[in-house]
Amino acid sequence: MIATCKKLVTDIQRDKDLDTKLPEYAELLGRQYNCYATVKGSMNYYTMKEVCDEQEDKNMDVCKYFALLTGLLDRHLVKREAVDEDSMEAIAQLRSNVEYKMHLLTAYTDAYEIYEYVLNRVEAAVRDEVAPVDAKGLSEKMFAYVFAENDTVVINSKLQLLMAQLPVRMTKNKFYDIVNSTLNIYEEGETTSVDEFVDMLRSAVLLKKPKGFETEYPFLYHVYTDLAEADYAALTLPEFEDLTKRLNQAATIINNEVSAFMLLQEVINDVYTILLTIDAAYEKNKEDVPGYAAALRIIEACVKAETIEQLPDEVMNEFFTIEGVQERVYESIVILEAVLDEIRVGKAEQIESLTLTEAFDRLDKVSKLLSTSLFIDLDKITGKAETADHAYITAKKEALVKELGDLFASVKKPVYRSMMCKLLAAMPIFMNTQQEIRDYFDYVIENCKDDSELMACNKLISEMIEE
């Protein structure tokens, strides 16, 4: 198969017999995609079924979405009904629903990180366990940690980890200068890159809460409001322990939800791929690939069984049959997919004349579905990008600084310092030399007069370094 794929790609690149080779390419890549998704999907679907079996509340969204997905598999993979527009709309809606849930959970994660930072730094004072910290020793330890390896990527990664924990000891104006300087980097770049970066910063501090933030997860929202309304300067030990306990409960809920939805999205992407490619690939794959037929049997058994425990014993043996199939098929996909964009653009006229435009558009969508980005935008069209000129950057800077200023004015000092810390960790490092980095470490540590905060930083940073 590898040799066949390489020869086919070479023939197309040399414009050899395109009337035959282009349809052959579309059919072969579609078949490989279908086989890969079916085999991978059989394993993911089995695991997802286990997850839903373990849920006490079967009315949870993740279980309801999984049930809808099962219905689609039953219709089109088990009963072999033709894939229609309604089913394609249904799978697209399922994918959108999961993206919406993940957007909410990400917003709550961002929110809780802000208040966890604050709680960590008041803990020693609340517990009356404040002790002095060797500020110079901490600064030297951080510097040695950052430059333990002479690799720019590793150094920047370590710096950003430290920035997320270091005390913030700068004026708001100095912070805004850093924001402005960071956005200046994007001048003459693409406007979409600027927009995405600004949106990321805004999301990190919840400048705009997503729709449903107040209603979709009542417990998470109640925890959030209690954290937002707490008086951290006068927090009692019982209040601190209650907030910490509930924050940990909320974090557990988020972790469980995110894990389930991540797996569900992977299954959805697999099923989406199957629906897009099954009609032209099913019979050929079933005939030529033993592992494909085994994957079909796994999915069919899981669809029909009420629970995992009800699966026939022989189903487990099917997993041995599919072992290694996914990896072998992926080798073919890598060869064929490497030239997909090149063929779609460079052979567009021939593709259109052969009425293959829809087929190649489908292949492009499947390549996104099977990429490492589970939540990639399937409908995003890459065209000529607009340039972010000086005026565009200036307008973005002014709007963002105004929003941040209003936000910081609406919360107390410990909270806006946490927000500033979170944003600094999300931005490119603003220090250019080793000496600047050393000076910054010395400055923030030496100028942190809050022993409770310094203790928290020392503890968290030491744990990070020792991992």
What's the pLDDT score for residue 310? 86
The pLDDT assigned to 285 comes to: 81
Q: Which residues lie closer than 8 Å to 266 by C-beta, 6 or more apart?
A: 44, 374
Output the pLDDT for position 383: 56
Residue 387's DSSP bridge partners are: 190
pLDDT of res. 55: 82
DSSP 89-113: HHHHHHHHHHHHHHHHHHHHHHHHH
Amino acid at 365: K
Rounded to 10 degrees, what is the CA torsion of 37, 43, 49, 53? -170
SS3 call for 190: strand
pLDDT digits (tens, 9 = 90+) for 203-222: 999 998 999 999 999 999 99
pLDDT < 70 regions, the chain: 381-384
Say how many CA atoms lie within 13 Å of 462 toward its Cβ.
Answer: 11
Give residue 453's pLDDT.
Answer: 87
Q: What are the distances in angstroms from CA 421 to CA 155, 236, 430?
A: 18, 25, 13
The radius of gyration of the chain's CA atoms, rounded to the nearest angstrom, is 27
What does the buried/exposed string (b/e) look like for 389-409 if buried means 16 or more CB atoms within 10 Å of the residue's CB? eeebbeebbeebbebbeebbe
- DSSP 3-state of 170: coil
pLDDT one-digit tens code per residue, 61-106 = 999 999 999 999 999 999 999 999 999 999 999 999 999 999 999 9
Residue with tokens 């957007």: 103
Which residue is it, tokens 């995609």? 33
Q: What angle do the packed helices 61-73 and 237-288 form, to 10 degrees?
A: 0
Q: How far apart (Å, rounded) are the C-alpha atoms in residues 113 and 166?
A: 14
3-class secondary-structure state, position 387: strand
pLDDT of res. 172? 87
- Global pTM reads 0.88
pLDDT of 384:
64
